[in-house]
């Protein structure tokens, strides 16, 4: 897969810093240039939020974080980079000048993306010597979580550049969508502007306040859009007759005088004060950083839920996450250092995220099973049962599980698991896992499980190959010399 080897970020504000975080957490070295005196602090805070979000986002082993360096000049920053992302303030003269300077100093084969929210790429590439490699890569905030980048070429951008950019974004968990033509504000911002304009009129005319407007979005069509977008949602609304029926039924409404989309609201001082006061009341005492953390937790929960869609293949942003995790496992999951077999194997370290807790703030029951399942997967990867093995038609299936709950795992709590193999033969592995509080070491839960090796195509149990058993045997033999863990072999309800 085509991948970014080294990146440069020119501009380190909210967007530029988040681009840097996405790249760094994708294992890519990043050179940053921003003359703003607070650039290091701002980027550092954005990166801290990103690392917190990724700890909740995935159990896959992240690649070693790339190295972040702050350069003294733009020329120094772009040296050796094959992806350069411009994220300076939204002024045509400034952006054009910066991109022209990047073009002057960068490798002629390096791709140059602009984070502009609406300026046409043809305008930005006007003075470049190598305009064929420049394009818009318009992301959405927070860039380190939201996977989309609108890829828009100018009149002199080569089609190959856009296809290459799309391919290079995939390994860092982003989905590039290529627009057929350039247009001001592209696709996403044009849709947002239409909603934004109508929303301003609704506030102006005292139809509702900012909180009510946001509630209408987040409790209704916002949820539909998150997983199925606009047109596919309306296709369902058309029933069995599909989109043609929907358009025939609701198309005439477009001519009704419902909206004020052709009128621009006057953002005078009175309206600005009204919106600001309502917004302050809506957010209460929550500061920006707290709101960002809440936003990130919610986005993680949505993406994790969507990851299970379409029969486990993932749906919408969840599919992008599933593909990203598969890439991470392929890159890092098979390169795990062999642990000490003389002790139970420490295989999973995690933290209880907001998406994992119930109304009491405690981790829900099915998340315990998820952690124990992730531990089982880690054992399988250790003995060679990885994605490639499963794709060939064989795997181990869990056929029995007995979980004991000994304590409570709460929001934000760091956890780890250790696994002891109790016995094995050519078809079965029996093992015992303990979930611990990472700070105190206390046992919070245990699981005794049995896995059976299967031929997935035939749908029946089969003997595991000799090379898999050869990797499993030394673990089992070493663990046979350990004391039997407390709780192994218990039945449900057995008295202590």
Query: Domain boundaries in the chain?
Result: 6-178, 188-284, 336-480
For residues 317 and 146, is the Cβ–Cβ distance under 8 A? yes
Name the maximum alpha-carbon separation found in the chain. Answer: 80
How would you classify residue 206: left for phi > 0, otherwise alpha for psi between -120 and 50, otherwise beta? Answer: left
Say what the pLDDT of residue 391 is. Answer: 83
Cβ neighbours around 325 below 10 Å, total? 19
The β-bridge relationship of strands 443-455 and 460-461 is antiparallel
Say what the pLDDT of residue 23 is. Answer: 98
188-284 under CATH 1.10.1040.10, yes or no: yes
Q: How many CA atoms lie within 13 A of 468 on its CB side?
A: 22
Architecture of domain 336-480: Roll (3.10)
Closest by Cα among 15, 168, 187 to 86: 15
For residues 428 and 352, is the Cβ–Cβ distance under 8 A? no
* Sequence-ordered alpha helix ranges (H) in 58-154: 74-78, 92-105, 121-124
How deeply is 119 buried, as exposed, middle or buried, from its count of CB atoms within 10 A (0-12, 13-18, 19+)?
buried
Say what the pLDDT of residue 334 is. Answer: 46
* Topology (CATH) of 6-178: Rossmann fold (3.40.50)
Closest by Cα among 320, 313, 354, 356 to 145: 320
Helix pair 288-307, 221-228: axis angle to 10 deg: 60
Whole-prediction pTM value? 0.81
Say what the pLDDT of residue 333 is. Answer: 52
Query: Each residue of 338-365: pLDDT tens digit?
Result: 788 999 999 988 888 777 888 888 899 9
The β-bridge relationship of strands 443-455 and 428-437 is antiparallel
Low-confidence ranges of the chain (pLDDT < 70): 1, 332-337, 496
Q: Do domains 6-178 and 336-480 have the same CATH topology?
A: no
How many distinct helices (H) and strands (E) make up the chain? 17, 14
What residue ranges in 352-413 does DSSP mark as E strands?
394-405
């Amino acid at each position: 897969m085509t991948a970014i080897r080294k990146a440069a970020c020119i501009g380190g504000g909210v967007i530029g810093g988040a681009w840097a975080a996405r790249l760094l957490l994708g294992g890519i070295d990043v050179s940053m240039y921003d003359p703003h005196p607070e650039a290091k602090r701002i980027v550092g805070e954005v990166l801290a939020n990103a690392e917190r979000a990724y700890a909740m986002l995935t159990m896959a082993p992240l690649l070693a974080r790339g190295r972040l360096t702050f350069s003294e000049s733009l020329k120094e920053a772009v040296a050796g980079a094959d992806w350069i992302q411009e994220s300076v303030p939204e002024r045509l003269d400034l952006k054009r000048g910066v991109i022209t300077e990047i073009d002057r100093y960068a490798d002629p084969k390096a791709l140059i993306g602009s984070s502009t929210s609406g300026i046409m790429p043809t305008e930005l590439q006007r003075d470049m010597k190598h305009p064929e490699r420049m394009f818009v890569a318009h992301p959405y905030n927070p860039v380190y979580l939201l996977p989309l980048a609108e890829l828009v070429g100018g009149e002199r951008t080569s089609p190959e550049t856009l296809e290459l950019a799309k391919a290079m974004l995939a390994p860092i968990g982003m989905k590039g969508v290529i627009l057929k033509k350039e247009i001001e504000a592209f696709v996403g911002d044009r849709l947002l502007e239409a909603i934004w304009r109508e929303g301003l009129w609704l506030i102006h005319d005292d139809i509702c306040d900012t909180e009510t407007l946001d509630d209408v979005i987040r409790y209704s069509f916002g949820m539909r859009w998150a997983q199925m977008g606009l047109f596919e949602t309306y296709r369902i609304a058309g029933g069995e007759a599909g989109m043609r029926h929907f358009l025939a039924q609701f198309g005439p409404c477009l001519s009704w005088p419902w909206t004020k989309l052709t009128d621009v609201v006057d953002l005078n001082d009175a309206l600005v004060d009204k919106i600001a006061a309502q917004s302050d009341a809506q957010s209460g005492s929550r500061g920006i950083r707290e709101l960002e953390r809440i936003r990130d937790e919610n986005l993680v929960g949505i993406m994790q839920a969507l990851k299970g869609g379409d029969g486990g293949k993932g749906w919408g942003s969840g599919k992008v996450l599933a593909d990203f995790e598969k890439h991470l496992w392929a890159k890092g999951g098979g390169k795990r250092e062999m642990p000490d077999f003389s002790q139970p194997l420490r295989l999973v370290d995690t933290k209880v995220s907001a998406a994992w807790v119930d109304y009491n703030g405690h981790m829900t029951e099915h998340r315990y099973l998820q952690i124990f399942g992730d531990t089982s997967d880690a054992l399988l990867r250790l003995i060679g049962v990885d994605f490639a093995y499963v794709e060939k038609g064989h795997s181990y299936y869990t056929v029995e599980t007995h979980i004991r709950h000994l304590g409570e795992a709460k929001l934000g709590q760091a956890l780890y698991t250790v696994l002891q193999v109790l016995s094995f033969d050519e078809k079965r592995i029996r093992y015992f896992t303990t979930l611990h509080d990472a700070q105190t070491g206390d046992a919070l839960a245990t699981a005794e499980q049995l896995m059976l090796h299967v031929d997935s195509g035939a749908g029946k149990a089969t003997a595991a190959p000799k090379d898999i058993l050869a990797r499993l045997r030394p673990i089992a033999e070493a663990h046979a010399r350990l004391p039997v863990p407390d709780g192994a072999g218990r039945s449900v309800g057995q008295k202590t």
